[in-house]
């Protein structure tokens, strides 16, 4: 990680600080306990965590990227298609809460989420394991729809979405159905709609799995982070950067042989430009019958 520090004159002491910060990210221990482990005072631990967090946070645009080129989009779409033959998916979106201590009284109400504890509402998109965007600056009471509507990803898709063949996000029923964000049917009325829902759920689970792996790596995200909300937000993003780096730097894991399913090229969609119209088109065109190669339930 020292190689990524912007300052060309990287002091050796920074190398000694990295393990202290990583211990905090990985365990979520009290700063006093980390200080006792390394033989330093709590103020030193706090400064160390802040410095390492700031370095990692500065790398977010380099290592957390939404697919924007045609080649990147096709690669992501093909990977999602292999999960359950759902075409055109460039990402899955969802939110998760990270618990924090009670903020100052004048801000406290905003941070109480629907489960009645203080948190930050973290919204992210992913591909097949990597975060492609993350927003960790909203208090726990913020609604997922509101966070998405003013997010950079939503603005990008609203400005540049050109049709189903260019890719869509998958979200749960808490999000609005949009031309670039497909949600499940709340009350499916046909076998096609049920097949669509099953394929949608299996594919969208990528974001749930990514959150799960991420929080297992960094237990600070499980515990009550005893910092101010603004600093917690930066810690969350720093952990997302580390999550992506861990995947990018690891040797590829052996995989079982599997068929290379090629996703069908969607026809140019000419129907109503609204979420329900696009969803109905996908359902009626591509989920008319159960593909013979699907074996998962």
Identify the domain containing residue 8 by its residue range. 2-58
Whether the predicted pLDDT of 257 surpasses 60: no
Q: Is the per-residue pLDDT at 6 higher than 70?
A: no
Same structural domain, 93 and 141:
yes
Q: Are residues 88 and 129 in the same domain?
A: yes
- 281 in a structural domain: yes
Q: pLDDT tens across 129-165, in order? A: 999 999 999 999 999 999 999 999 999 998 887 777 7
Same domain, yes or no, for 117 and 88?
Answer: yes
On whether both 46 and 169 belong to a single domain, the answer is no
Comparison of pLDDT for 264 and 57, the residue scoring more: 57
Burial state string for 182-203 with b = 16 or more CB within 10 A and e = fewer than 16: bbbbeeeeeebbebbbbbbebb
> Does one domain contain both 196 and 70?
yes
**pLDDT, tens digit, 9 for 90 and up, residues 223-256:** 899 999 999 999 999 999 999 999 998 744 434 4
* 257 domain residue, yes or no: no
Per-residue pLDDT, 277: 76
The number of domains in the chain is 2
The pLDDT value given to residue 290: 56
Report, in angstroms and rounded to the nearest whole number, the Rg of the chain calculated over CA atoms.
21
Which residue's entry shows tokens 């749960």?
172
60-84 pLDDT per residue, tens: 999 999 998 889 989 999 999 999 9
85-96 pLDDT tens trace: 999 999 999 999
Dist. CA 83–CA 255, nearest whole Å:
14
Q: Are residues 54 and 76 in the same domain?
A: no
The overall pTM is greater than 0.95? no
Phi and psi at residue 57, to the nearest 5°: -60, -35
pLDDT over threshold 70, residue 13: no
What confidence score (pLDDT) does residue 50 get? Answer: 94
Q: Which of the pair, 141 or 289, is modelled with greater confidence?
A: 141
Under the banding of pLDDT at 50, 70 and 90, the label for residue 196 is very high
Q: Do 21 and 143 belong together in one domain?
A: no
Paired residues of 29 in beta bridges: none
With CA atoms as reference, report the closest residue to 243 among 99, 122, 81. Answer: 122
* Average pLDDT value for the chain: 85
Segment 7-21 shows an average pLDDT of 68
Between residues 173 and 7, which one has the greater pLDDT?
Answer: 173
What share of the chain has pLDDT > 70, as a percent? 84
């Amino acid at each position: 990680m020292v190689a990524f520090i912007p300052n060309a004159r990287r002091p050796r002491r920074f190398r000694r600080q990295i393990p202290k910060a990583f211990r905090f990210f990985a365990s979520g221990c009290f700063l006093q306990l980390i200080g006792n482990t390394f033989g330093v005072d709590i103020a030193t631990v706090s400064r160390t965590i802040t410095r390492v967090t700031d370095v990692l946070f500065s790398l977010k645009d380099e290592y957390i990227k939404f697919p924007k080129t045609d080649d990147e989009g096709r690669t992501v779409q093909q990977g999602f298609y292999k999960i359950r033959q759902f075409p055109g998916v460039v990402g899955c979106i969802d939110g998760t809460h990270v618990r924090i201590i009670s903020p100052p009284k004048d801000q406290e109400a905003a941070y109480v989420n629907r489960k009645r504890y203080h948190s930050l509402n973290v919204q992210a998109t992913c591909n097949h394991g990597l975060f492609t965007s993350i927003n960790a600056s909203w208090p726990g009471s913020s609604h997922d729809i509101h966070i998405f509507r003013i997010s950079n990803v939503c603005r990008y898709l609203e400005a540049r979405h050109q049709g189903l063949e260019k890719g869509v996000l998958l979200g749960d029923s808490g999000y609005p159905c949009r031309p670039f964000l497909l949600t499940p049917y709340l009350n499916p009325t046909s076998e096609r709609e049920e097949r669509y829902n099953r394929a949608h759920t299996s594919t969208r689970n990528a974001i749930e799995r990514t959150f799960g792996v991420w929080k297992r790596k960094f237990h600070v995200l499980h515990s009550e982070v005893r910092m101010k909300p603004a600093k917690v937000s930066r810690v969350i993003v720093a952990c997302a950067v580390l999550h992506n780096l861990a995947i990018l730097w690891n040797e590829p894991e052996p995989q079982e042989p599997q068929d290379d399913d090629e996703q069908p090229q969607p026809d140019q969609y000419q129907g109503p430009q609204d979420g329900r119209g696009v969803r109905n088109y996908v359902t009626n065109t591509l989920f008319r019958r159960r593909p013979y190669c699907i074996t998962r339930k």
